[in-house]
Amino acid sequence: MKKRISFFLAVVMALTFAACSSGGTTTSEEGTTTEETTTETTTEESGEAASETSTAKSPDNDMVVAMQADVTNLDPHVSSNGVSNTVTNTMYEALVTFDADANIIPMLAKEWTMSEDGLTYTFVLNEGVTFHDGEPFNAEAVIANWERGKADQSLRVYSQTKSWVSAVADSEYQLTITLDAPNNTFLNKLTQVRIVSPKAIEELGKDGLAKQSAGTGPYVFAERVDGGYTKVVRNENYWREGPKVDSLTFKVVPEDGSRIAMLKTGEADIITPVPPIQVEQIEGDSNIVVMNEKGITYRYVTLNKNYTLADGRQPFNDVRVRQAMNYAFDNEAFCQVVFQGYAVKPTSIFSDSIMYYAEQTPYDLDLEKAQALMEEAGYADGFPVTIWVDNTTIEMQGAEFVKQQLAQINIDVTVEPQESTTIADRTALPEDETEVQMWYVNWSSGSYEADGSMRNILHGEKFPPSGYNTAFWNNAEFNQLLDDALVSTDEAEIADLYAQAQAIAWEECPWMFLANDNSITAQRSYVKGLTYKPGGDIVFTTAELDH
Binding flags for another protein, 358-397, as an x/- string (CB under 8 A): ----------------------------------------
Give 271 or 358: the residue with its C-beta nearer to another protein.
271
Which listed residue (10, 11, 12, 105) binds another protein by CB under 8 A?
12
Minimum CB separation of residue 16 from another protein in Å reads: 7
Query: Which range of residues in 300-308, 379-387, 464-472, 478-486 is near another protein by CB under 8 A?
Result: 464-472
- Residues 263-322 binding another protein (CB under 8 A) are 264-265, 267
R_g (Cα) of the chain, nearest Å: 25
* Residue 16 interacts with another protein (CB under 8 A): yes or no: yes
- Helix axes of 450-458 and 476-487: crossing angle, nearest 10 degrees: 150
Return the number of the residue (23 or 134) whose C-beta is nearest another protein.
23
Are the beta carbons of 94 and 191 closer than 8 angstroms? yes
Cα distances (angstroms) measured from residue 486 to each of 187, 455, 479, 536: 12, 10, 11, 26
For another protein, which residue of 33, 103, 153, 286 counts as binding (CB under 8 A)?
Answer: 153
Contact 337, 515 (CB under 8 A): no
Please confirm whether the linkage preceding 465 is cis (ω < 30° from 0).
yes
Amino acid 352 reads D
Site for another protein contains 60 (CB under 8 A): no
Instruction: Determine the interface stretch with another protein among 213-221, 224-232, 357-365, 367-375 (rule: CB under 8 A).
Output: 224-232
What is the rounded CA–CA span in Å between residue 246 and residue 249? 10
Q: Which is nearer to another protein, 139 or 196 (CB)?
A: 196
Q: Is 491 exposed, middle or buried (0-12, 13-18, 19+ CB in 10 A)?
A: exposed
- Distances 132 to 175, 251, 304, 323, 542 between C-alpha atoms, Å: 22, 23, 50, 55, 18
Among 199, 313, 426, 528, binds another protein (CB under 8 A): 426
- The greatest distance separating any two alpha carbons of the chain, rounded to the nearest whole angstrom, comes to 93
- Which residue from 14, 15, 168, 309 is in contact with another protein, where contact means CB under 8 A? 15
- SS3 readout for 178-189: EECCCCCCHHHH
b/e per residue, 29-49, with b = 16+ CB within 10 A? eeeeeeeebbbebebeebbee
Residue 9 or 394 having the CB closest to another protein: 9
Residue 310: other Cβ atoms inside 10 A: 7
Q: Is 253 in the site for another protein (CB under 8 A)?
A: yes
Residue with Cβ nearer another protein (26 or 33): 26
Q: Is residue 261 close enough to count as binding another protein by CB under 8 A?
A: yes
- Cβ contacts of 407 within 8 Å, gap of 6 or more: 413
Q: Does 154 bind another protein (CB under 8 A)?
A: yes
Binding part of the chain for another protein, among 95-103, 245-253, 302-310, 469-477 by CB under 8 A, reads 245-253
Closest to another protein by CB, 23 vs 378, is 23
Verify binding: residue 34, another protein, rule CB under 8 A.
no
Q: What are phi and psi of 435, to 5 degrees?
A: -110, 5
* Binds another protein (CB under 8 A): choice among 165, 225, 380, 407: 225
Q: Footprint of another protein on residues 175-214 (CB under 8 A)?
A: 206-207, 210
Question: For 293, which DSSP code?
Answer: E
Residue 424 engages another protein in binding (rule: CB under 8 A): yes
Q: How many binding residues for another protein (CB under 8 A)?
A: 53
Please state the closest distance from residue 382 (CB atom) to another protein, in A.
30
Residue nearer to another protein on the CB measure, 393 or 422: 422
Pairing between β-strand 164-171 and β-strand 219-225 as defined by DSSP bridges: unpaired
Q: Does 468 bind another protein (CB under 8 A)?
A: yes
What letter would DSSP give residue 137?
P
- The footprint of another protein (CB under 8 A) covers 1, 4-5, 8-9, 12, 15-16, 18-19, 22-23, 66, 70, 72-73, 80-81, 153-154, 156, 159, 206-207, 210, 225-228, 251-255, 257-258, 261-262, 264-265, 267, 419-422, 424-426, 428, 456, 465-466, 468
